[in-house]
Amino acid sequence: MIAFNKYYNHFNLLSSILIVVSLLLLIFKGLNFGIDFKGGTLIELRASDSKINVSSLRDRFNQMDLGDVSVKKFGNDTDFLVKFENKDNKNNIIEEIKTNLDKSFGNNYDFRRVENVGPKVSAELLKSGVIAISLSLALMLIYIWIRFEWQFSLGAILALFHDVIVTLGVFSLFSLEINLSIIAAVLTIVGYSMNDTVVIFDRVRENLRKYSDIKIFELTNISINETLSRTIITSATTLLALLAIYFFGGEILKGFSLAMILGVVFGTYSSIYIANTVLVRLRVSQKTVLREDDQK
Amino acid sequence: MLYFSKFRILFITLFSVLFILIASSNLFKFDDNFFDKKINLGLDLQGGSYLLLEIDNEPVIEQKLQNLTTTIRNYFKEKNIKINNIKIDNQNIFFNVIDNDKQSVLDVFQDENSDLNPYYPRFKSHQLEIEDTGLNLKVNFSRQGLIKLKTSSQDQAIEIVRRRVDEVGTNEPNILKRGNNRILVELPGLDDPMRVKSLLGKTANLTFRFVTNDQGDRFGVEKLKFENDLEEAMVSKRIIISGENLLDAQPKMDTQTNQTIVSFTLDRVGAKRFGKATSTGIGKQLAIVLDGKIISAPVVRDTIASGSGQISGGFTFQTATDLALLLRSGALPAPLEIIEERTVGPDLGQDSINAGMIALAIGFMLVIIFMFVKYKIFGLITNVTLIVNLFILLGVLTLFEATLTLPGIAGIILTVGMAVDANVLIFERIKEELKDETNNILAFDGGYTKSRTAILDANITTLLAAIILFFMGSGPVKGFAVTLGVGIFTTLFSVYFIARLFTSIYVSRNKDKEKLI
């Protein structure tokens, strides 16, 4: 049996630091919102001429008076991602750009993807993203509150917040782009983290009923160990699937799968080191579950 | 938990085979019409354009109020009430009447049977609201009136959008209403939406007016540019007919001159006015003005009293088609703005499909190998279940003709990774049971029973997340929610029916074997 409980305090400290750092990052550095949430235009461009590279593209685009332009390589050496604000939300901007690029590069490039999100739409998308995440957290809270005692709910929700905040913190730290698919990833993380926590909690509660003489500190450790192989196997298979998406699923899914990978890692960690320590700190005992049983 | 009746085994087999067949209909073409369902590919996979249009209703409101001032003046004139100082300001109509008439004017507006101000009994509201400001009377659209106006302008706009999109000739466009002032346009397979966009972006406010050099024209004149921005002409402000009088316009081939022409038909009022105007204006140029630009200025050759005429002059079939289309759309004064556009080229879509499939295959292989190494014979059972699960998932998506997107493929891969969870929970529980239980059957039974709550909890939490995503997400993300959500149900089915069936067969054959798992 692994003595997970020996490190409860250490990891609680670590998590607190992670959360504080993430929050500071989110407040002061902020998130790198993509055009979905900030508005603007995105062009994925494939070149068939080695003359076309990041710097020549940047030169061209900067001459077009499009505001803040960012040009990046996208996967291959021949693929580029161009983003700009498109403040006036001009509809025919793409045509203008094409005419302009034709002059310097001829026909040796191709727009593979064009996305243009107006300011009104991006504001709405951001709002519905925030609502979706809040709603999912609220629903999880309600569900866990119905299923378990309040101490358990608190533990699970703290673990959830931890996962969401730290994942977003990593995105802020590395300035990774937040777009619609990241919201989907965060919601899935919420589901996964909850899933992981609930499996361990289920065992904790079962053991609480079974043993009256084991303290919660020891009991959580027993429960974590009993469910450990399941925790490892499920995270392993999920991570295998996610790694396959990350490495082979193409550039578009990279951010999404990275967020999910982070979420699964944090989710597994938090189920053990946050959710359970809350139970320990709240001195949950056999009485806690039996009282609830009586009420039912 | 391990007992299966013959009937149940038959049901499970039939159910699985049915869905595998349905899923494989995506790969093979069945000849009969009985089953021709297929999973739809999202725009991000098949390539195409997604456009969200917003209708700007301001000009419509402005125009309606303009018309209303005339109506109000004429209406009360018949009742011998004189309307003074009528003006429009900030979407309100203001006017004065003498104090003695005030009450009867208010009564007309507030009467439920008013023929000036329609009453909507369902909403208990008039179209217009009237208020006595003390200084004058203020009339504006009520909340319900505005909603009615917006819905009807959306109805009109969607018709025009549909026509314009059809005109460009894309296959299977999807045109839907969003809210009461937006229109969603999905154009599969359209690589370059430039032409659609320029057509959609056009505000169709159409008037027919004479070109004149007479500065003393009593309606006033204005200098307008032609569509090409080069030529100009002086055009009278007198409107002969406007877009709403136009019933139809079509490009045609004139058999006599072998020229492409645009022929048009007018409504009764339009025909009368047009007949009168053309009879006095033979030889004059008639400007067709769209959004302050002259799109065509044909010379009147003859009196057109029948209500149908034709425009000729150097059209290619394409330009004639576009002009006819613009004329037809002329009844729509509300401009459309493209507020969101997402276009994916077909080759990128194909690349995404390939990448998604490779990721799916690799993810699937990795999970299968992992499970086999970890659980041997039970890993094999899990793997068979996993494959059947994948087919059932695809079968369900096919049955509902769901739209598969790139994140949707990611959802399938993720389902594969997470689907083993339930089996793992069961197997691990069985292992624990076997520590104190020597009877294999009892241990397996216990494993299934005792792991049930955890499995249920685990899947409900993921399902909750998927449901929220489905309702809040848009486009590709919705596809993810669908596969994730459907995946949960197919996983539970395959774990509790298929995997359990195999397990029960294996266990009952080896019930005396030690270290079964």
CB–CB contact B356 A249 (8 Å): yes
Q: Is the pLDDT of residue B106 over 70?
A: yes
Which of A128, A241, A260 lies at the smallest CB-CB distance from B472?
A: A128
Q: Are residues B372 and B284 in the same domain?
A: no
Q: What pTM value is reported for the model?
A: 0.80
Q: Are residues B419 and B472 in the same domain?
A: yes
Contacts of B344 in chain A (CB under 8 A): 112-113
The answer to the question of residue B339 being in a domain is no
Q: Are residues B129 and B223 in the same domain?
A: no
Share the mean pLDDT of chain B: 85
The answer to the question of residue B487 being in a domain is yes
Q: Are residues B359 and B453 in the same domain?
A: yes
CB–CB contact A233 B476 (8 Å): no
Q: Are residues B83 and B161 in the same domain?
A: no
From the number of C-beta atoms within 10 Å of its C-beta (0-12, 13-18, 19+), residue A291 rates as: exposed
Last residue of some domain: A56, A89, A117?
A117
Q: Are residues A131 and A242 in the same domain?
A: yes
CB–CB contact B340 A117 (8 Å): yes
What percent of chain A has a predicted confidence (pLDDT) above 90? 52
Last residue of some domain: A76, A92, A117?
A117
pLDDT score, position B52: 92
Q: Are residues A24 and A148 in the same domain?
A: yes
pLDDT score, position B427: 92
Q: How far is B84 from chain A (nearest CA, A)?
A: 41
Q: Are residues A222 and A245 in the same domain?
A: yes
Residue A91, domain CATH: 3.30.70.3400
Query: What token pair was written down for B148?
Result: 């009615």
The answer to the question of residue B280 being in a domain is yes
Give all strands (DSSP E) within B62-148, no chain letters.
Answer: 84-89, 92-96, 119-120, 125-126, 128-132, 137-141
Q: Are residues A99 and A129 in the same domain?
A: no
Q: Are residues A160 and A250 in the same domain?
A: yes
CB–CB contact A240 B367 (8 Å): yes
Q: Are residues A166 and A194 in the same domain?
A: yes
Which of A111, A131, A230 lies at the smallest CB-CB distance from B424?
A: A230
Last residue of some domain: A117, A134, A151?
A117
Banded pLDDT at B239 (limits 50, 70, 90): confident
pLDDT score, position B202: 65
Taking the Cβ of residue B101 and every Cβ of chain A, the question of whether any pair is shorter than 8 Å is answered with no
Q: Are residues B37 and B64 in the same domain?
A: no
Q: How far is A94 from chain B (nearest CA, A)?
A: 8
ipTM above 0.95, yes or no: no
Which of A129, A191, A229 lies at the smallest CB-CB distance from B461?
A: A191
Chain segment B288-333, per-residue pLDDT in tens:
887 677 878 888 888 888 888 888 877 888 888 778 767 766 655 5
Taking the Cβ of residue B451 and every Cβ of chain A, the question of whether any pair is shorter than 8 Å is answered with no
Q: Are residues A212 and A162 in the same domain?
A: yes
Contacts of A140 in chain B (CB under 8 A): 461, 464-465
Compare all CA atoms of chain A with the CA of B200 and give the residue at the minimum distance: A91
Share the mean pLDDT of chain A: 90
CB–CB contact B417 A94 (8 Å): no
The lowest-confidence range among A62-76, A81-95, A236-250 is A81-95
CB–CB contact A244 B359 (8 Å): yes
Using DSSP, state whether B26 is helix, strand or coil: coil
Q: Are residues A168 and A280 in the same domain?
A: yes
Residue A263, domain CATH: 1.20.1640.10
Q: Is the pLDDT of residue B33 over 60?
A: no
pLDDT score, position B267: 76
The answer to the question of residue B517 being in a domain is no
Q: Are residues A233 and A211 in the same domain?
A: yes
Q: Are residues A289 and A158 in the same domain?
A: yes
Last residue of some domain: B306, B333, B360?
B333
The answer to the question of residue B340 being in a domain is no
Chain segment B397-410, per-residue pLDDT in tens:
998 888 899 999 98
**Three-state SS sequence of chain A:** CCCHHHHHHHHHHHHHHHHHHHHHHHHHHCCEECHHHHCEEEEEEEECCCCCCHHHHHHHHHCCCCCCEEEEEECEEEEEEEEECCCCCCCCHHHHHHHHHHHHHCCCEEEEEEEEECHHHHHHHHHHHHHHHHHHHHHHHHHHHHHCCHHHHHHHHHHHHHHHHHHHHHHHHCCCEECHHHHHHHHHHHHHHHHHHHHHHHHHHHHHHHCCCCCHHHHHHHHHHHHHHHHHHHHHHHHHHHHHHHHHCCHHHHHHHHHHHHHHHHHHHHHHHHHHHHHHHCCCCHHHHHHHHHHC
Last residue of some domain: B281, B306, B333?
B333
Using DSSP, state whether B263 is helix, strand or coil: strand
CB–CB contact B352 A250 (8 Å): yes
Q: Are residues B125 and B164 in the same domain?
A: no
DSSP 8-state class, residue B285: B
Task: Give the residue numbers spanning the domain of B407.
Answer: 6-43+345-509
CB–CB contact B54 A202 (8 Å): no
What percent of chain B has a predicted confidence (pLDDT) above 90? 23
Chain segment B261-289, per-residue pLDDT in tens:
898 888 777 888 889 888 888 888 889 88
Interatomic CA distance for residues B284 and B297, integer angstroms? 10
Taking the Cβ of residue B345 and every Cβ of chain A, the question of whether any pair is shorter than 8 Å is answered with yes
pLDDT score, position B393: 93
A and B: number of Cβ contacts within 8 A: 216
Q: How far is B450 from chain A (nearest CA, A)?
A: 10
The lowest-confidence range among A140-154, A176-190, A281-295, B13-27 is A281-295
Mean pLDDT across the stretch B423-446?
Answer: 89
Q: Are residues B493 and B349 in the same domain?
A: yes
Q: Which of the pair, B327 or A195, is modelled with greater confidence?
A: A195
Interatomic CA distance for residues B33 and B35, integer angstroms? 5
The answer to the question of residue B514 being in a domain is no
Q: Are residues A282 and A244 in the same domain?
A: yes
- The answer to whether the beta carbons of residues B366 and A244 sit under 8 Å apart is yes
Taking the Cβ of residue B342 and every Cβ of chain A, the question of whether any pair is shorter than 8 Å is answered with yes
Q: Is the pLDDT of residue B41 over 60?
A: yes
Q: Are residues B185 and B254 in the same domain?
A: no
Last residue of some domain: B184, B201, B218?
B201
The answer to the question of residue B425 being in a domain is yes
Residue B185, domain CATH: 3.30.70.3400
Chain segment B147-178, per-residue pLDDT in tens:
988 887 787 777 678 767 876 777 788 899 99
Q: Are residues B225 and B280 in the same domain?
A: yes
What total number of domains does chain A contain?
A: 2
Which of A92, A226, A241 lies at the smallest CB-CB distance from B363?
A: A241
Q: Are residues B304 and B387 in the same domain?
A: no
The answer to the question of residue B494 being in a domain is yes
What total number of domains does chain B contain?
A: 4
pLDDT score, position B299: 87
CB–CB contact B473 A132 (8 Å): yes
Mean pLDDT across the stretch B379-383?
Answer: 93
Q: Is the pLDDT of residue A20 over 80?
A: yes
Taking the Cβ of residue B418 and every Cβ of chain A, the question of whether any pair is shorter than 8 Å is answered with yes
Compare all CA atoms of chain B with the CA of A204 and give the residue at the minimum distance: B454
Question: E strand or H helix at B207, and its extent?
Answer: strand B206-210
Q: Are residues A100 and A203 in the same domain?
A: no
Q: Which of the pair, B182 or A49, is modelled with greater confidence?
A: B182
Best to test chain A binding among B352, B373, B457 (most A CBs inside 10 Å): B457
- Report the b/e string of B54-68 with b at 16+ CB within 10 A: bbebeebbeebbeeb
Q: Are residues B277 and B212 in the same domain?
A: yes
Interatomic CA distance for residues B74 and B87, integer angstroms? 15
Residue B220, domain CATH: 3.30.1360.200
- The answer to whether the beta carbons of residues B459 and A196 sit under 8 Å apart is no
Task: Give the residue numbers spanning the domain of A290.
Answer: 4-34+121-295
